């Protein structure tokens, strides 16, 4: 059974704080690691697809890193804003099962003004 | 800017009835995926389809559930003889199918079983 773990489960920060959270995934049969942002009452929005060990991707104030050898990825948000409040999901895609995303439970971020 | 379209947004069925959930992928996308979110749980993979083919149905319950993606028209997730435990949000996603592309999600169908 493939396990994808995210921590922390929830996070409350003040506007302007920088924050980061973790996604752990199996280190074998790695194909890709996906990050999504999911706001309440909306659909999950794709942030990054990470494929290479050492990959670092950036979109505005959000960035992500990838370590496939040890099986973890970090998502960073610099200078959090209230509109960053959402649940952030990671999903593992394995070789031989491409297309099948195994999602973590998510980290719910609340940014207070 | 037509994204992934799912309908209906909400569906109410009585136990024993059939539920049909529809998904139209984004323009140019030939790969469709269905996920289910049970209450208090995360997104769980159900099935991966290309036009007229089921690629991976390892997440589908063995009975009462079926999915298709015909040559013309939307993908359909069909649940026969629904039970209370089928109450969930069902999400569809699509991708162009080329390697390392994100899956784009629809807004989901919330299925409630009375």
Q: What is the pLDDT of residues A23-66, one digit of tens each?
A: 999 999 999 999 999 998 899 999 999 999 999 999 999 999 99
Predicted pLDDT of residue A29: 92
Strands (E), chain B: 5-7, 10-13, 19-24, 31-37, 43-50, 53-56, 65-68, 75-79, 88-95, 104-105, 109-113
Q: For B68-85, write each residue's pLDDT tens digit.
A: 999 999 999 999 999 999
Q: Answer whether residue A1 shows pLDDT above 80.
A: no
Predicted pLDDT of residue A97: 85
Q: At B4, is the pLDDT very low, low, confident or very high (cuts 50, 70, 90)? A: very high
Instruction: Please indicate if any CB of chain B lies within 8 Å of the CB of A100.
Output: yes
Q: Answer whether residue A2 shows pLDDT above 80.
A: no
| A49: closest CA of chain B, how far (Å) | 6
Q: Which residues of chain A does B92 touch, with a Cβ-Cβ cutoff of 8 Å?
A: none
Q: At B1, is the pLDDT very low, low, confident or very high (cuts 50, 70, 90)? A: low
User: How many whole angstroms from its chain centre is CA B68?
Assistant: 10
Q: Which residues of chain B does A44 touch, with a Cβ-Cβ cutoff of 8 Å?
A: 43, 91, 105
Question: Contacts for A104-107 with beta carbons within 8 Å, 24 or more apart?
Answer: A104/A4, A104/A5, A104/A6, A104/A23, A104/B42, A105/A5, A105/A6, A105/A9, A105/B42, A106/A6, A106/A9, A106/A38, A106/B42, A107/A6, A107/A7, A107/A8, A107/A9, A107/A10, A107/A11, A107/A21, A107/A75
Q: Rounded to the nearest 5°, which phi and psi values hold at B9?
A: -75, -35
Q: Which residue has the higher pLDDT, B16 or B99?
A: B16
State the average pLDDT for chain A. 95
Mutate to test the interface with A, among B102, B109, B110 (most CBs of A within 10 A): B102
How many residue pairs bridge chain A and chain B with CB atoms within 8 Å of each other? 55
Instruction: Please indicate if any CB of chain B lies within 8 Å of the CB of A51.
Output: yes
Question: Residue B44 in 3-state DSSP?
Answer: strand
| H helix and E strand count, chain A | 0, 11
Predicted pLDDT of residue B84: 96
State percent of chain B over pLDDT 70.
Answer: 99
Predicted pLDDT of residue B40: 87
Nearest CB partner across the interface for B48, out of A43, A99, A103: A99
Q: What does the buried/exposed string (b/e) look like for B3-18 if buried means 16 or more CB atoms within 10 Å of the residue's CB? A: ebebeeeebebeeeee
Mean pLDDT, residues B12-16 taken together: 97
Q: For B90-100, write each residue's pLDDT tens digit.
A: 999 999 977 88
């Amino acid at each position: 059974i493939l396990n994808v773990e995210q921590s922390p489960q929830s996070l409350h920060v003040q506007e302007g704080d920088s924050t980061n959270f973790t996604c752990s995934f199996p280190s074998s049969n790695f194909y890709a690691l996906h990050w999504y942002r999911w706001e309440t009452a909306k659909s999950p929005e794709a942030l990054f697809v990470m494929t290479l060990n050492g990959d670092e991707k950036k979109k505005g104030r959000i960035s992500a890193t990838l370590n496939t050898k040890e099986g973890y990825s970090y998502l960073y948000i610099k200078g959090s804003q209230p509109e960053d409040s959402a649940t952030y999901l990671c999903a593992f895609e394995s070789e031989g099962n491409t297309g099948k995303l195994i999602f973590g439970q998510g980290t719910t971020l609340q940014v207070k003004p | 800017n037509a994204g992934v379209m799912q309908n209906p947004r909400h569906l109410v069925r009585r136990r024993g009835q059939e539920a049909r959930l529809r998904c139209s992928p984004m323009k140019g996308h030939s790969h469709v995926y269905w996920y289910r979110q049970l209450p208090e749980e995360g997104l769980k993979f159900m099935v991966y389809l290309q036009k007229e083919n089921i690629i991976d149905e390892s997440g589908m319950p063995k009975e009462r559930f079926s999915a298709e993606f015909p040559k013309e028209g939307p993908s359909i997730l069909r649940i026969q003889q629904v039970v209370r435990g089928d109450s969930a949000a069902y999400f569809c996603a699509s991708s162009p199918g080329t390697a390392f592309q994100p899956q784009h999600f629809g807004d989901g169908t919330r299925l409630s079983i009375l």
